[in-house]
């Protein structure tokens, strides 16, 4: 028995020798056992299922009053009734799933809207909600035709006679191989096309103009989303095809480039999240940062909205993943269960990681963890058992938290962490699908690294994820640059300072009374914060300029000085702090006090704190 186990011995029994094991070895053993638990449980369940004797119906004496065997006609009628019942169930579930995915859009609007400053809340929510209208129309006109029409070499779809404006589709015409009408498939897939560009807006929030954004969305759906959707999900719905010399009936074979390669993406890890996350990163690199980033903190206006939005996203995601089974069956249940497990696990792991790292768990961290888990399980939901969803969520919560923390170190301005959560989480989920997938969950899938003992499916997933990331990044990099140069995707400095609610939409999100950030500069309010030349109390205003250090270093140092510590503040700090009114770059503004003494105290403060005698100050 291992030394780390406890054994119960009778009183008076001789004590056994205790084998001392180093802490590192014990930790490794604990982790290896912990990771082995889900695998062992799955193997035991599979073995038990294989060894279980086939259930036999109890023998009953013949019933003299039993009716005679049914006729072929009655048998056919019963089968027809059963098929009709199944079709009705499938249609009901897919209608519900479509509505659930639509419900995610206002959820995303609230999730993003709560994280921005109050002056931008309405503009940020509009960037999500407007996609329901603009992409909703585009999808019916041509989007569905491009994504799921007759395959053109596996790269794009095109069936103009039938699918442009859906002019050749009858309302009761079913999609080949499925029990649902084509109209319903159009609506369900259209919700995915709607929410994907809305995700990108989170990366560049608080600094883009509404009109050019609409143009960007339409071009992006055409050039990025529709091709990717065809590569991954398109099937031979419009006719029989021959694959490797074998005739495949309509609706039974993948025809897109990545689908034919065997890439698994149940509900949009590559098509939705990798594409949106990497496209957001490309737009970030093309467009300028928000004014004041990263020197100044940008505080969310309402965590209540963000947490409510996260809850709506969680609720709607059951339709996102469960509906991707395109049927009301056990596969939909499996995807539903994996979705719940991953979201819960990621919320726990993100919260714990933040708690250990920063000392306190935050509502924003919990909400971000939920979304990270949902993102990561999206490609895997219909291919992994429930414990696989749990494992994916636990891993995703920590990995996405680290990615978001590295944002400040790398210096890119991902306003609402679209890349850190959707880009990183989607890529991670695509790879982990190749680790945890099992054919006993979905016969159309494959056995992953754990089940098969080989990395074959993992490498297919890596190829699909990398290709989707590169494609989305490069096309968006060019597209965002062209739209910005020609139409001005990024707003001007004055409009950003006033707030996009006012400058883009002429209204405010919350009319809670006058506040500087919700009143336009044209209403005789200053467009930028500034110190008063003659303060209200009559004291003279002046500024102290600090030289010899970068702006970011000065801000970090001053923020540290303002934090409460173990001891009382220094005399120099107490001599300057009561008179300070504003900080702009390396310029500190004051009202009252002796300018010379304050300048000297400021110099002493920064020299001592930074241990840099070259730091100098002067009064202006």
- Closest residue by Cα to residue 179 from 324, 320, 326: 326
d(CA 234, CA 241): 13
Q: How confident is the model at residue 539 (pLDDT cuts 50, 70, 90)?
A: low
Residue 64, pLDDT score:
54
Prediction pTM value:
0.76
Question: Bridge partners of 208?
Answer: 490
- Closest residue by Cα to residue 265 from 428, 433, 385, 467: 433
The average pLDDT across 31-50 equals 46
Percentage of the chain with pLDDT > 70?
83
- Closest residue by Cα to residue 293 from 361, 206, 180: 206
Q: Classify residue 59 by burial, with Cβ atoms within 10 Å: 0-12, 13-18, 19+.
A: exposed
Q: How confident is the model at residue 170 (pLDDT cuts 50, 70, 90)?
A: very high
d(CA 435, CA 605): 55
The answer to whether residue 519 scores a pLDDT higher than 70 is: no
The average pLDDT across 350-365 equals 96
The answer to whether residue 56 scores a pLDDT higher than 50 is: no
DSSP 452-473: HSSSHHHHHHHHHHHHHHHHHH
Weakest-pLDDT range from 41-55, 146-160, 305-319, 484-498: 41-55
Q: Enumerate residues 6+ apart whose C-beta is below 8 A from 438.
A: 42, 383, 384, 385, 388, 445, 447, 448, 451
- What's 422's DSSP letter? I
The average pLDDT across 349-375 equals 97
Residue 498, pLDDT score:
92
Residue 123, pLDDT score:
97
The average pLDDT across 386-407 equals 97
Q: Could you read off the pLDDT of 89-128 as tens digits, one per residue?
A: 999 999 999 999 999 999 999 999 999 999 999 999 999 9
Sign of the alpha-carbon dihedral angle for 280, 282, 283, 285: positive
Tokens representing 310 are: 């996260």
d(CA 106, CA 126): 10
- Closest residue by Cα to residue 448 from 431, 434, 460: 434
Torsion of CA 105, 107, 112, 116, to 10 degrees: 130
- Closest residue by Cα to residue 176 from 91, 231, 258, 253: 253
Weakest-pLDDT range from 119-123, 371-375, 389-393, 406-410: 406-410
Tokens representing 587 are: 């310029």
Half-sphere exposure of 204 (CA within 13 A, CB side): 32
Query: In a 3-state reduction of DSSP, which class is residue 207?
Result: coil
The answer to whether residue 553 scores a pLDDT higher than 80 is: yes
The answer to whether residue 525 scores a pLDDT higher than 90 is: no
Q: Could you read off the pLDDT of 201-239 as tens digits, one per residue?
A: 999 999 999 999 999 999 999 999 999 999 999 999 999
The pLDDT mean for the chain works out to 87
Residue 204, pLDDT score:
97
| CB-CB neighbours of 98 under 10 Å | 20
d(CA 111, CA 312): 9
Q: How confident is the model at residue 70 (pLDDT cuts 50, 70, 90)?
A: low
Give the helix/strand (H/E) hosting 243: strand 241-243
d(CA 406, CA 404): 5
Contact 432, 264 (CB under 8 A): no
Give the residue, 456 or 567, on which the prediction is more confident: 456
Q: Enumerate residues 6+ apart whose C-beta is below 8 A from 410.
A: none
554 φψ region: left (φ > 0), alpha (ψ -120 to 50), beta (else): alpha
Query: In a 3-state reduction of DSSP, which class is residue 208?
Result: strand
Contact 542, 619 (CB under 8 A): yes
31-35, 122-126, 517-521 — which one is most confidently predicted on average?
Answer: 122-126
The answer to whether residue 538 scores a pLDDT higher than 70 is: no
d(CA 433, CA 417): 23
- What's 523's DSSP letter? G
Whole-Å CA distances, 25 to 20, 31, 32, 153: 10, 10, 11, 54
Q: How confident is the model at residue 69 (pLDDT cuts 50, 70, 90)?
A: low
DSSP 76-93: HHHHHHHHHHHHHHHHHH
Whole-Å CA distances, 381 to 32, 225, 515: 25, 21, 46
Q: Enumerate residues 6+ apart whose C-beta is below 8 A from 604.
A: 572
């Amino acid at each position: 028995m291992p030394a780390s186990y406890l054994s119960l011995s009778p009183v008076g029994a001789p004590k056994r020798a205790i084998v001392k094991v180093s802490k590192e070895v014990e930790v490794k053993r604990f982790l290896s056992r912990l990771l082995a638990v889900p695998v062992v449980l799955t193997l035991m369940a599979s073995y038990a299922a294989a060894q279980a004797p086939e259930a036999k119906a109890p023998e009953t004496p013949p019933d003299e009053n039993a009716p005679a065997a049914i006729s072929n006609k009655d048998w056919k009628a019963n089968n027809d009734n059963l098929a009709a019942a199944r079709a009705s169930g499938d249609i009901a579930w897919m209608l519900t799933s479509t509505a659930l995915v639509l419900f995610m859009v206002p959820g995303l609007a609230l999730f993003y809207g709560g994280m921005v400053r109050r002056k931008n809340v309405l503009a940020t929510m509009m960037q999500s909600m407007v996609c329901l209208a603009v992409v909703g129309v585009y999808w019916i006109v041509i989007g569905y035709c491009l994504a799921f029409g007759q395959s053109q070499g596996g790269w794009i779809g095109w069936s103009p006679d039938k699918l442009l404006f859906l002019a050749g589709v009858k309302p009761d015409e079913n999609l080949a191989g499925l029990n649902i009408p084509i109209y319903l498939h159009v609506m369900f897939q259209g919700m995915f096309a709607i929410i994907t560009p809305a995700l990108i807006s989170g990366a560049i929030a608080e600094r883009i103009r509404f009109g050019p954004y609409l143009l960007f969305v339409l071009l992006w759906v055409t050039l990025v989303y529709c091709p990717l959707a065809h590569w991954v999900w398109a099937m031979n719905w419009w006719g029989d095809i021959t694959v490797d010399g074998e005739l495949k009936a309509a609706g039974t074979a993948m025809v897109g480039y990545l689908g034919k390669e065997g890439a698994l993406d149940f509900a949009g890890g590559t098509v939705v999240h990798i594409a949106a996350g990497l496209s957001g990163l490309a737009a970030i690199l093309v467009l300028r940062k928000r004014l004041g980033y990263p020197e100044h903190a940008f505080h969310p206006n309402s965590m209540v909205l963000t947490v409510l939005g996260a809850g709506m996203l969680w609720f709607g995601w059951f339709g996102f993943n469960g509906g991707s089974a395109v049927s009301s069956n056990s596969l939909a249940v499996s995807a539903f269960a994996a979705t719940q497990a991953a979201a819960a696990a990621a919320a726990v792991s993100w919260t714990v990681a933040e708690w250990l790292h920063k000392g306190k768990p935050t509502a924003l961290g919990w909400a971000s963890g939920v979304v990270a888990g949902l993102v990561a399980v999206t490609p895997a939901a219909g291919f992994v058992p429930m414990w696989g969803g749990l494992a994916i969520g636990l891993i995703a919560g920590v990995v996405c938290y680290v990615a978001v923390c590295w944002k400040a170190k790398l210096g890119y301005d991902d306003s609402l962490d679209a890349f850190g959560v959707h880009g990183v989480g989607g890529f991670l989920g695509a790879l982990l699908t190749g680790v945890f997938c099992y054919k006993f969950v979905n016969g159309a899938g494959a056995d992953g690294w754990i089940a098969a003992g080989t990395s074959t499916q993992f490498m297919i997933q890596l190829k699909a994820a990398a290709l989707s990331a590169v494609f989305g990044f490069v096309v968006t990099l060019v597209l965002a640059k062209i739209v910005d140069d020609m139409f001005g995707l990024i707003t001007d400095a004055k409009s950003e300072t006033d707030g996009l609610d006012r400058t883009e939409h002429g209204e405010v999100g919350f009319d809670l009374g006058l506040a500087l950030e919700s009143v336009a500069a044209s209403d005789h309010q200053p467009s930028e914060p500034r110190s008063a030349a003659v303060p209200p109390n009559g004291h003279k205003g002046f500024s102290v300029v600090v030289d010899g250090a970068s702006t970011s270093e000065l801000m970090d140092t001053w923020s540290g000085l303002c934090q409460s510590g173990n001891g009382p503040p220094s005399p120099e700090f107490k001599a300057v702090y009561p008179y300070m009114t504003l900080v702009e770059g390396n310029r500190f503004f004051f009202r009252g006090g002796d300018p010379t003494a304050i300048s000297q105290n400021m110099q002493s403060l920064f020299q001592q704190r930074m241990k840099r005698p070259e730091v100098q100050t002067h009064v202006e």
